[in-house]
């Protein structure tokens, strides 16, 4: 059934309504969302729905500064998002696991042209963002942004049912890839698009009316040199609607793996996994 649903057309239609400044449409969508998902508006920088010009501006609402304390230990990688850990593990033979049953190549996920020579084993963590979750993506560990790109074309749903039933889901969907390097750890952060996701917006994008193509171009160009150093907890991007992020850590031998469990709910800024004190 997923192959017969016109995901791109549906996404464009929903984006039209989500960005509408018509008060009736905007208030109806926001009130319906609040009634269905009951988000914690007291955590938000703006909590009065009258102050949001569109449904989309409500959906990507910012949090108050103290709503998510950032774990600042040098040995801690923090969660980049609010969500649920769906899968995690060592990348074996260039393959990651999707929903415990489908395997797919990490090189294709990252848009690499050829398979890497495996010197050290990577570790992956897949985090699903439900509609009620906070939908901004933050830096899990400070470092230099070495590259950014936007790849993929499809927009299938990424909910639990889709993950279980659509092979190669994450490498079929649109996604933005950001690689960050530091002296202690290097990693890639993959933001996966999905049905109804209007765009994945990078932090260096200037505000204003932009198309999906504009955002794709910005991901492929990357930030200016002055903005390439990312601090832990800094906002890196946001989803217009919901989706999934996949963290690929380059050297699993540097990680203390004992604190990570599948189906664990995580909050942005909290400890995701520790580096070993080598």
DSSP-derived secondary structure for 168-234: THHHHB-EEEEEEE-SS-EEEEEEE--TT---EEETTPPSS---HHHHHHHHHH---GGG-EEPTT-
Q: Does residue 87 register a pLDDT over 90?
A: no
- Report the pLDDT averaged over residues 129-151: 93
- Report the pLDDT averaged over residues 223-240: 94
Determine the Cα–Cα distance for residues 12 and 192; give it in Å rounded to an integer.
17
The reported pLDDT for the residue numbered 101 is: 64
The residue annotated as part of the active site, out of 82, 133, 188, 195, is: 82
Question: Residue 132: pLDDT band by 50, 70, 90 thresholds?
Answer: confident
The reported pLDDT for the residue numbered 1 is: 44
The residue annotated as part of the active site, out of 102, 138, 150, 238, is: 138
Q: Does residue 267 register a pLDDT over 90?
A: yes
> What tokens does 11 get?
């996404």
The reported pLDDT for the residue numbered 6 is: 47
- Report the pLDDT averaged over residues 108-130: 80
- Report the pLDDT averaged over residues 163-171: 68
Determine the Cα–Cα distance for residues 94 and 105; give it in Å rounded to an integer.
6
What element of type H or E holds 136?
A: strand 136-138
Q: What is the pLDDT of residues 40-57, one digit of tens each?
A: 889 999 988 889 998 888
Question: Residue 239: pLDDT band by 50, 70, 90 thresholds?
Answer: confident
Question: Residue 139: pLDDT band by 50, 70, 90 thresholds?
Answer: very high
Determine the Cα–Cα distance for residues 219 and 150; give it in Å rounded to an integer.
6
- Report the pLDDT averaged over residues 101-121: 75
The more confidently predicted of residues 240 and 37 is 37
CA nearest neighbour of 238 among 271, 188, 270, 193? 193
Q: Does residue 100 register a pLDDT over 70?
A: no
195 classed as catalytic? no
- Report the pLDDT averaged over residues 19-42: 89
Mean pLDDT of the chain: 84
Q: What percent of the chain has pLDDT over 90?
A: 46
Q: What is the pLDDT of residues 3-12, one digit of tens each?
A: 444 445 555 6
7 classed as catalytic? no
Q: Does residue 197 register a pLDDT over 60?
A: no
Question: Residue 177: pLDDT band by 50, 70, 90 thresholds?
Answer: very high
pTM, rounded to two decimals: 0.87
150 classed as catalytic? no
């Amino acid at each position: 059934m997923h192959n017969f649903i016109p995901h791109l057309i549906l996404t464009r239609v929903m984006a039209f309504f989500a960005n509408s400044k018509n008060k009736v449409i905007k208030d109806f969508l926001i009130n319906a969302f609040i009634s269905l998902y009951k988000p914690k508006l007291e955590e938000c920088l703006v909590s009065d729905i009258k102050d949001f010009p569109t449904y989309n501006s409500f959906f990507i609402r910012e949090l108050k500064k103290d709503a998510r304390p950032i774990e600042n230990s040098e040995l801690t990688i923090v969660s980049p998002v609010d969500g649920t850990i769906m899968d995690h593990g060592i990348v074996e033979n260039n393959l990651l696991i999707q929903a415990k049953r489908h395997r797919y190549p990490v090189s294709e996920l990252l848009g690499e042209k050829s398979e890497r020579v495996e010197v050290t084993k990577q570790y992956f963590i897949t985090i699903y963002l439900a509609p009620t979750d906070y939908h901004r993506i933050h830096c899990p560990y400070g470092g230099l942004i070495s590259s950014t790109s936007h790849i993929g074309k499809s927009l299938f749903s990424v909910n639990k049912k889709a993950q279980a039933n659509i092979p190669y889901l994450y490498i079929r969907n649109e996604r933005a890839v950001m690689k960050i390097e530091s002296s202690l750890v290097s990693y890639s952060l993959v933001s996966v698009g999905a049905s109804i996701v209007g765009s994945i917006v990078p932090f260096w994008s200037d505000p204003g009316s932009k198309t999906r193509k504009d955002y794709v171009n910005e991901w492929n160009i990357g930030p200016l040199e002055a903005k390439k150093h990312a601090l832990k907890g800094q906002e890196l991007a946001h989803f217009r609607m919901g989706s999934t992020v996949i963290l690929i850590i380059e050297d699993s031998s540097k990680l203390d793996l004992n604190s990570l469990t599948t189906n664990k709910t995580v909050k942005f800024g909290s400890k995701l996994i520790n580096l070993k004190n080598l």
